[in-house]
Amino acid sequence: MSLINTQVQPFKNQAFHNGKFVEVTEQSIKGKWAVVIFMPAAFTFNCPTEVEDAAEHYAEFQKAGAEVYIVTTDTHFSHKVWHETSPAVGKAKFFLVGDPTHHLTRAFDVHIDEEGLALRGTFIINPDGMIKTMEVHSNEIARDVTETLRKLKAAQYTAAHPGEVCPAKWKEGEKTIAPSLDLVGKI
Amino acid sequence: MSLINTQVQPFKNQAFHNGKFVEVTEQSIKGKWAVVIFMPAAFTFNCPTEVEDAAEHYAEFQKAGAEVYIVTTDTHFSHKVWHETSPAVGKAKFFLVGDPTHHLTRAFDVHIDEEGLALRGTFIINPDGMIKTMEVHSNEIARDVTETLRKLKAAQYTAAHPGEVCPAKWKEGEKTIAPSLDLVGKI
Amino acid sequence: MSLINTQVQPFKNQAFHNGKFVEVTEQSIKGKWAVVIFMPAAFTFNCPTEVEDAAEHYAEFQKAGAEVYIVTTDTHFSHKVWHETSPAVGKAKFFLVGDPTHHLTRAFDVHIDEEGLALRGTFIINPDGMIKTMEVHSNEIARDVTETLRKLKAAQYTAAHPGEVCPAKWKEGEKTIAPSLDLVGKI
Amino acid sequence: MSLINTQVQPFKNQAFHNGKFVEVTEQSIKGKWAVVIFMPAAFTFNCPTEVEDAAEHYAEFQKAGAEVYIVTTDTHFSHKVWHETSPAVGKAKFFLVGDPTHHLTRAFDVHIDEEGLALRGTFIINPDGMIKTMEVHSNEIARDVTETLRKLKAAQYTAAHPGEVCPAKWKEGEKTIAPSLDLVGKI
Amino acid sequence: MSLINTQVQPFKNQAFHNGKFVEVTEQSIKGKWAVVIFMPAAFTFNCPTEVEDAAEHYAEFQKAGAEVYIVTTDTHFSHKVWHETSPAVGKAKFFLVGDPTHHLTRAFDVHIDEEGLALRGTFIINPDGMIKTMEVHSNEIARDVTETLRKLKAAQYTAAHPGEVCPAKWKEGEKTIAPSLDLVGKI
Amino acid sequence: MSLINTQVQPFKNQAFHNGKFVEVTEQSIKGKWAVVIFMPAAFTFNCPTEVEDAAEHYAEFQKAGAEVYIVTTDTHFSHKVWHETSPAVGKAKFFLVGDPTHHLTRAFDVHIDEEGLALRGTFIINPDGMIKTMEVHSNEIARDVTETLRKLKAAQYTAAHPGEVCPAKWKEGEKTIAPSLDLVGKI
Amino acid sequence: MSLINTQVQPFKNQAFHNGKFVEVTEQSIKGKWAVVIFMPAAFTFNCPTEVEDAAEHYAEFQKAGAEVYIVTTDTHFSHKVWHETSPAVGKAKFFLVGDPTHHLTRAFDVHIDEEGLALRGTFIINPDGMIKTMEVHSNEIARDVTETLRKLKAAQYTAAHPGEVCPAKWKEGEKTIAPSLDLVGKI
Amino acid sequence: MSLINTQVQPFKNQAFHNGKFVEVTEQSIKGKWAVVIFMPAAFTFNCPTEVEDAAEHYAEFQKAGAEVYIVTTDTHFSHKVWHETSPAVGKAKFFLVGDPTHHLTRAFDVHIDEEGLALRGTFIINPDGMIKTMEVHSNEIARDVTETLRKLKAAQYTAAHPGEVCPAKWKEGEKTIAPSLDLVGKI
Amino acid sequence: MSLINTQVQPFKNQAFHNGKFVEVTEQSIKGKWAVVIFMPAAFTFNCPTEVEDAAEHYAEFQKAGAEVYIVTTDTHFSHKVWHETSPAVGKAKFFLVGDPTHHLTRAFDVHIDEEGLALRGTFIINPDGMIKTMEVHSNEIARDVTETLRKLKAAQYTAAHPGEVCPAKWKEGEKTIAPSLDLVGKI
Amino acid sequence: MSLINTQVQPFKNQAFHNGKFVEVTEQSIKGKWAVVIFMPAAFTFNCPTEVEDAAEHYAEFQKAGAEVYIVTTDTHFSHKVWHETSPAVGKAKFFLVGDPTHHLTRAFDVHIDEEGLALRGTFIINPDGMIKTMEVHSNEIARDVTETLRKLKAAQYTAAHPGEVCPAKWKEGEKTIAPSLDLVGKI
């Protein structure tokens, strides 16, 4: 069954966040929108550019009331060193979550069993802990954070306006569609 | 286990394509890149706008050597009528695939059991039938085809240049990264 | 075991009925006689002629205190469009029930697994929700609604006169048989 | 799963036929169309009227190249006596098949376990042993053989003209429908 | 395990008895001695002579306070006709029990699975519903009711005189044996 | 399932016979008719009278080409002493079979588990080892060997005349019935 | 697991004892020491000599407060006759226990399945029903009751003097050993 | 099932024998009679007296062509030390078998699970590896080797004279009994 | 799963300790640090040197508040004799624990099934019964008790100073490391 | 079962070794002695001191013909960065093996499931791939490499001299013990 519209499973992980080690759980991420971004491994090739991409848009995520969580199967110890040694990752002000037990990675179905690493998966989770969008790439193909931002806003808009749906390519501020019997078969 | 980097499962479905009914299978989609786009149901609200969005970028997909397949759990009979009656869908020159047995929808893990409809899922499949990217939305949140195009090109570039990976936000023509030992821990 | 003299299983489906979408359940069909007619798929060849046949006798069913339900594995969205675009189906004033989950079709044992469509099955159900007659055809063979009307009346007569049975070919108004010991071996 | 379009299961029963006891099997009924009619029990109330109804149309069945088989869970001994003692049954020139093991009755899914008797079921079987139509009534509701004749002819017509389907209420000699892409959504 | 000295299992069957249809159960046969006689099928060859044999000794069974039940796997409808049409069976004043579900026949372990008929079994049951003697023949070998009468009386005598046993060939009025320690090894 | 018309199961037992210990098996009893008579225990009350009864008719059994076997769960050692000490048993010239393993007693379904003894069972077995009649009494009710003789002869007659059946009460020399279609429903 | 130091299992058997039939159970043997002696079968070759051996030492067993039970798989009826006819067994004043159900023989693990007889087993049981010694021979090898008496007395002595053990070959009146730490490794 | 008349199970153990460590197996003990004597533990209280008892009769066992094996769950290392430190055990010229895996002890069913030690069990095994007698005591009750010698000789005598059995208390040189039919019931 | 940081499983064994036999359990070892040393077998080659090694450092263990337990699968009887006969083992003032049931040896996963002996395993257990270190050698490789002492002290130090860890090679009195965020990635 | 004297299970891992990424397998470590050292996680507190300790004795391991492998559940990418950033780890010239799949860690039974990290385990493996010693600590207790060196030499000595065992505390050059029967119980 798809993960879409299911609750995030319980987890308890250590993260490096603004110079501190903190615990992150399925409870702690509730209450605001969450963007969970899995990456294969610290210290590798295009992961830092993805972290940097997220860092550069972090102000926009915050403005949208969303928090960002980067996850790898490394420890939070590695994440601290990564933050200190990588010029790109050093910009990150959000959570770098270690998943050495691989439980979180498996719970989001992005674990590569023969490598012990995560696929590039991005998940938008609403404040109730419900997964609303997912996007997973084979690891040689990186993501674009602006598209994640667009989806986040579409998800927030439809959450706030239960009677409407966003048409294709919808961007913040555009018109949405209010479904009605008359529209069936007419668009 | 994630569907990424697995083979498309065998299927045999009827599609409406350029005024004809044709059979589409896991074999027939091989040989070129395929973009498989699931939608909830014909005749509904934002589905036509998504079909239209795809139609308007179809020339670009073709230029990129890719074919597009729209799939719903309706019959191909419904798809013919949808094409005839919807101004938006009428623009579609690609395959409108009927999946009345729901096998294809289940094979891509986008089936909503309690509704009998598909989630909004988009899959890029390489010419060998291997799934390279997936993107699934809760049905109230529509997609943007331009992002699919960007991913397709990144997937094609890395397929063509096995020794390189695309950094975040990579767009056609930009520099990629050639992984090397020296880069480990340095980006 | 045969479905005859068993209760209709629980279901909850959306139907198109007189320009509206309404919910139909195993409860909502109780209280009057129900005629449930399965068809393979909207927009196909002899289905509209069967719907039309039912439509032309609908007044008689109503006079007999019975309601008519047409069911396919399509959505109610497709049924609305079918009603709007088909001259034959447009005459229908009864319920066009969508069964996209295929649950109802399977509950009446008329599902063709390899096609995802229904067989041509007709069921007469008494006001208590008990199935009294069934008739199923291979899909290339259409039905005749007048025979369904004849059976409905025979079923209603024997329900109203528990001590009697209808002889072969019985039509409304004809004599029935009151079983008695003396008749055993004498007819 | 429905019995429609499945093969008749193997059986071997004794029948009374034109003053003789003969064996009837799933092989012996092949080669021509077969009409198999189940009845609850010899010597009972409306069963003889149904046998008589079949007898009176037997010439037509023969003309259509079909054979008729009446089945009850009684022995063929009882069938001989029934034929001798019942004025109605005495007219029967077709097979009166005994099913004391109840195997045949169960194979057609018309067995009432708590009574050991059959439901009123009628089955049309093509010359290859494939069941094409079924009709089952609660036992207080008798059948009309003329409708069985109509179905037989529709089944024979569509078997002989694979490219056509019979519309609703079709009777021998009327026009049929040749499905074509153009007709989809147009009737 | 042998049926001897076990309780008759629960059953509920229809019988033809003195021109009426009546229900017979494991409760209704209690309170007096019962002789249950299974036969293969109504209308067959030596069954009527056995029924006639029972009929001619019926007065003696009655005098001994015992009731007689003839059972076949036919219906009670067949039994009525059998009684009316057979000169031999017509003499029967006891119960002709129909067993169309075959439950009673199986409960006494005299069912022939491949024929759906009973073996020739005779059972004497005491007023508490306990089986005291059984006798079963291959169907080509008929029984002699006078021996059944002799056994009935021996069973009744030992039931009435708990301290005694009947020696071989014991007939009503003859001396019995009162077991005692002294007799062990002495007869 | 009934033991009637089944093969005697394999066995190997020691018997006392004409002053010698001999082995009896399912093979050794074949080739002639066998009468197998189970009794509860050596040295008990009415068992000797039954043995004596058999002894007095032994010449007739021999004339009919049949052998007699008395079986108890005692050893053949006990049977020798029984033969020597009991005036009644001393007359026996047939086989006194010991069954200390209780296998034979269980194979004929006459074992009383809570006592370790046999019920009074009599079985007639044809020269092919097939059981043709069985008769079992609660132990307080003794048997009459003359009825066993009558059955033996009826069994032998029908075995020798496959086309005929013995009517009730049939005794050697009387008329039998040759079943034919015409007789069905006529006796 | 060994039977030594386990409780005798529940049993209920009939015995011949001083001219009477009496019931013996696992309860009735408690309260004094019991010597249970299994033998293969009444009336056989060296069994009587063993019974006689026991009979000649019976006074000593009684003086030691012990009761003797001879058990075979024969009935108590056979035991009465054995006692009457065997000069050796006739001397027995203790219990001759019949075990026709073979339960007791199996409970002491001395049953020979392929013969239905017991092995030559001797068991000494204390007044609490606990088995203290066992001795079993292949049946061609008889026992010596004097050794059983010696064991009985050793068992009684150690039971009465919990702090001591009997050395090898210990006989009544001899010195025993009081275990102490100092003796470890010193004898 | 009893161990009597079963084969010794396969084993491979180390023993201390005449100043050497040697391997003992189920094969090595074949070819002559074997007396296997289990004891609880080296260095304990009455075990040395039993070893001494065996040692003092060892010449007789040898003369009878039998070998003696003492077994405990200790190692052969302990047995060497036991032999060196115990005046009683030091007399032993036979095998002191170590069973640290407890396999041999369990194979003879004399293992006390809650102690990890053996019961006092003695087994006589014939040259074919078949167990002929067993004797097991609760550990507080020691054995008498002279009785073991008597049994060994009885076992050897009956093995050498297949047609005879030893009567109770039989000792070497005494008369045995040749079973014959005439003796049944006569001793 | 590793035994490290698990509770010692329940056990109850006899030990030789300072000239007495005493019971040792998982409860009795709690309250102080315990060093449990498994050895293959008493009386063998390098085991005494290991016992002697432990004995010579026993004062240090006592000073550190720890108790020492030597365990083999021998009995405590053997341990007493070992202590008396071995010059090396005679020095031992700690517990020599017998494990004849092998339960303790299996609980610490050092049992060699095919030999019934223990591997050379050493375990340090804290006063709460939690195993903190384990060390196991193939039996030809002996241990060095001074290293065990070093580990014991490191375990005690870190237990007493929860916020610190001992660096490699740490010996009593040396500096430890207090983990802090700042140290991550810096040593 | 203990891992001692079992084969290393198959594995395939990436390691950082002298500035390169290389593959290490159960095959590649064969042919010389291997010392496998598990540690909890890169970048943590006392792990670098343990790596440094190993580095400082690496020449001795090499001289002894042994190779050293450090393993954590981190990736080899992390190991490269660790080597570059940690002054202590930077001294390592042996293999830093990444185990992101945790298979190797589980194969040596040192995985902490709730943390996803390894315990401090050290294993000496002979050139045939057989584990000869193991040592595991709770993670707060570090190891001393000199003791590992001592064990390695003892293992090598006994491997080279099959007839000898090392006594406790044995160090290279000291006398060993050649086991002989005479020594049993004498040391």
Query: Comparing H175 with F122, which gets the higher pLDDT?
Result: F122
pLDDT for the residue D118: 97
Residue A159 pLDDT more than 80? yes
Assess whether pLDDT exceeds 90 at residue I178: no
And the tokens for A134? Answer: 């997912």
Q: What is the pLDDT of residues I13-61, one digit of tens each?
A: 999 999 999 999 999 999 999 999 999 999 987 778 888 999 999 999 9
G34, G35, G39, G47: the active-site residue: G47
> SS3 of F26, please?
coil
Whole-angstrom CA distances from H127 to E98, E170, H5, H60, H123 are 70, 60, 12, 17, 13
Q: Which of C8-17, D121-130, H137-146 has the lowest mean pLDDT?
A: H137-146
Task: Give pLDDT tens digits for E57-112.
Answer: 999 999 999 999 999 999 999 999 999 999 889 999 999 999 999 999 999 999 99
Q: Identify whether the C-beta of residue J3 lies closer than 8 Å to the C-beta of residue I119.
A: no
Cα separation of D5 and D12, whole Å? 21
Locate H31 and state its tokens: 């070819």
> Hey, are the CB atoms on J109 and I48 less than 8 Å from each other?
no
Residues of D in contact with C112 (CB under 8 A): 2
| Inter-chain residue contact C185 with E21, CB threshold 8 Å | no
In chain D, where the domains are located: 12-183
What the block records as the tokens of G129 is 């029903």
**Per-residue pLDDT band at C168 (split at 50, 70, 90):** confident
Do residues D149 and D61 touch, judged by C-beta distance below 8 A? yes
Fill in the DSSP letter of residue H162: T
- The 8-class DSSP code of residue E130 comes to B
Report whether C94 contacts B58 (CB < 8 A).
Answer: no
- The Cα of F178 is separated from the nearest Cα of chain E by a number of Å equal to 8
| Structure-token pair, residue C60 | 């008689």
φ and ψ of J81, to 5 deg? -65, -40
Decide if H179 contacts G48 (C-beta within 8 A). Answer: no
**Would the CB atoms of H185 and F81 count as touching at under 8 Å?**
yes
Looking only at the bridges linking them, the beta strands covering H111-112 and H12-17 are unpaired
ipTM of the predicted structure?
0.88
**pLDDT tens track for A89-99:** 999 999 999 99
**Among the partner residues B74, B101, B113, nearest to C74 by beta-carbon distance:** B74
Q: Which residue has the tokens 């799933």?
A: D26
Closest Cα in chain B to J83: B185
Lowest mean pLDDT of B17-26, B37-46, E7-16, name the range: B37-46
Reply yes or no on whether the pLDDT at D186 is more than 90.
no
Q: Measure the CA–CA gap between I5 and J139, rounded to whole angstroms.
A: 10
Task: Write phi, then psi, for J159 (nearest 5 degrees).
Answer: -65, -35
Angle at G120 between CA H56 and CA H185, to 5 degrees: 125
Active-site residue, from D42, D47, D96, D154 = D47
Give residue for tokens 């040692």.
H55
Q: B154 to chain A: which residues are within 8 Å by CB?
A: 141-142
**Neighboring chain I residues of G181 at a CB cutoff of 8 Å:** 19-21, 80
Statement: D12-183 belongs to CATH 3.40.30.10: yes
Q: Are A187 and B48 in contact (CB under 8 A)?
A: yes
Residue B54: what are its φ and ψ, rounded to 5°?
-65, -40
Give dist(CA G55, CA G82) in Å, integer.
15
Window 117-176 of B, Cβ < 8 Å to C: 117
Q: Determine the Cα angle at F167 with ends F162 and F169, to 5°.
A: 125
Residue F115 exposure: Cα atoms within 13 Å on the Cβ side: 16
Least CB-CB distance to B42: which of C77, C99, C114? C77
- Interface size D-F, in CB pairs within 8 Å, comes to 11
Count of CB contacts below 8 A, H vs J?
11
User: Mean pLDDT in each 10-residue stretch from start to end of chain J (187 residues)?
Assistant: 95 96 97 97 84 93 96 96 91 96 98 96 97 95 90 92 77 77 73
| E177/chain F closest Cα distance in angstroms | 7
Phi, psi of C157 (to 5 degrees): -65, -50
Half-sphere CA count of A53, side-chain side, radius 13 A: 20
Q: Using a CB-CB distance cutoff of 8 angstroms, which residues of chain H are in contact with residue I85? A: 81, 85
Backbone angles phi, psi at E60, to 5 degrees: -65, -40
From residue G10, how far is each of G30, G94, G107, G129 by CA, in Å?
A: 12, 21, 9, 10
Determine the distance in angstroms separating the CA of H118 from the nearest CA of chain I, rounded to an integer: 11
E30 to chain G, minimum CA–CA distance in Å?
A: 33
Predicted confidence at residue F187, as pLDDT, reads 66
* Chain-centre distance for alpha carbon G130: 12
Burial tier of H6 (Cβ tally within 10 Å: 0-12, 13-18, 19+)? exposed
Chain C residues inside the 8 Å CB shell of A184: 77, 80-81
Mean pLDDT confidence for G26-40: 97
Question: Considering chain A, what percentage of its residues have pLDDT values greater than 70?
Answer: 99
> Residue H72 in contact with residue H48, Cβ under 8 Å?
no
Q: Select the residue of B138, B144, B168 nearest A143 (Cβ to Cβ).
A: B168
Compute the distance between CA of residue J39 and CA of residue J111 in angstroms, rounded to an integer. 10
Axis crossing angle, helix I145-160 with helix I47-56, rounded to the nearest 10: 50
- Label residue H40 by pLDDT band (50, 70, 90): very high
CA distances B64 to B94, B156, G143, Å, are: 14, 9, 100
Residue H155 CA to residue H143 CA, distance in Å, equals 19
**Residues of J tagged active-site:** 47
E strands, C102-149, where?
111-112, 117-118, 120-125, 131-137
G18 close to E (CB below 8 A):
no
Phi, psi of A19 (to 5 degrees): 80, 10
Its sign, for the CA torsion I24, I29, I31, I33, is positive
Q: Which of G95, G129, G117, G122 is nearest to G10 (CA)?
A: G129
Nearest residue to B70 (alpha-carbon basis) of B33, B121, B36:
B36
Model confidence over E3-57: pLDDT tens digits? 999 999 999 999 999 999 999 999 999 999 999 999 999 998 777 888 899 999 9
Kindly state the helix (H) or strand (E) to which residue C21 belongs, with its residue range. Answer: strand C20-25
Q: Are C113 and B102 in contact (CB < 8 Å)?
A: no
G166 is catalytic: no
Distance (Å, rounded) from C-alpha E34 to C-alpha E156? 11
Looking at the DSSP assignment, which residues form a beta bridge with residue D23? Answer: D14
User: Which chains contact F through at least 3 pairs of Cβ atoms less than 8 Å apart?
Assistant: D, E, G, H
The answer to whether J169 contacts I145, with C-beta atoms less than 8 Å apart, is yes
Cα of first residue to Cα of last residue in chain B, in angstroms, is 30
Residue of C nearest to B117 (CA): C100
Cα separations (Å) of F20 from E43, F43, F97, H67, H183? Answer: 53, 20, 12, 43, 12
- Quick one: tokens of G164? 């001591």
Q: For residue B126, what are the contacts with CB-CB under 8 A and spacing of at least 6?
A: B33, B132, B155, B159
State the pLDDT at residue B187.
66
Question: What does the pLDDT look like over C91-132, one tens digit per residue?
Answer: 999 999 999 999 999 999 999 999 999 999 999 999 999 999
Per-position b or e across B4-16, b if 16+ CB within 10 A of its CB: beeebeebebbbb
**Nearest-10 crossing angle of helices F47-56, F145-160:** 50
- The pLDDT confidence band at residue H103, using thresholds 50, 70 and 90, is very high
Q: Hey, what amino acid is at E108? A: F
pLDDT of residue C99: 98
**Element at G154 (helix H, strand E):** helix G145-160
Residue B72, helix vs strand vs coil = strand
8 Å CB contact between I109 and J1 = yes
J 48-87 near I (Cβ less than 8 A): 48-50, 52-53, 82, 85-87
What are D157-182's pLDDT values in tens digits?
989 988 777 777 777 788 877 777 77
Return the CATH architecture of domain G12-143: 3-Layer(aba) Sandwich (3.40)
Please count the other Cβ atoms lying within 10 Å of the Cβ belonging to residue G113. Answer: 12
Does D187 score more than 70 pLDDT?
no
Is the per-residue pLDDT at F102 higher than 70? yes
- Give me the DSSP letters along H113-142: TTTTEE-EEEEEE-TTSBEEEEEEE-TTS-
Q: Which of G4, G141, G151, G172 to mutate to test the interface with H (most CBs of H within 10 A)?
A: G141
d(CA E21, CA B66): 79
For residue F110, give the 3-state DSSP assignment.
Answer: coil
Mutate to test the interface with D, among B16, B80, B89 (most CBs of D within 10 A): B80
Neighbours of chain G (3+ CB pairs under 8 A): E, F, H, I
Count how many pairs of residues, chain B against chain C, have C-beta atoms within 8 Å: 65
Dihedral sign (CA D171, D173, D177, D178) = positive
Residues 6+ apart with CB under 8 A from G69: G15, G24, G29, G34, G35, G36, G37, G94, G95, G97
Nearest-CA distance B77 → chain D (Å): 6
- Transcribe E14-51 into DSSP letters: EEEETTEEEEEETTTTTTSEEEEEE-S-TT-SSHHHHH
Q: What is the nearest CA distance from J172 to chain B, expressed in angstroms?
A: 42
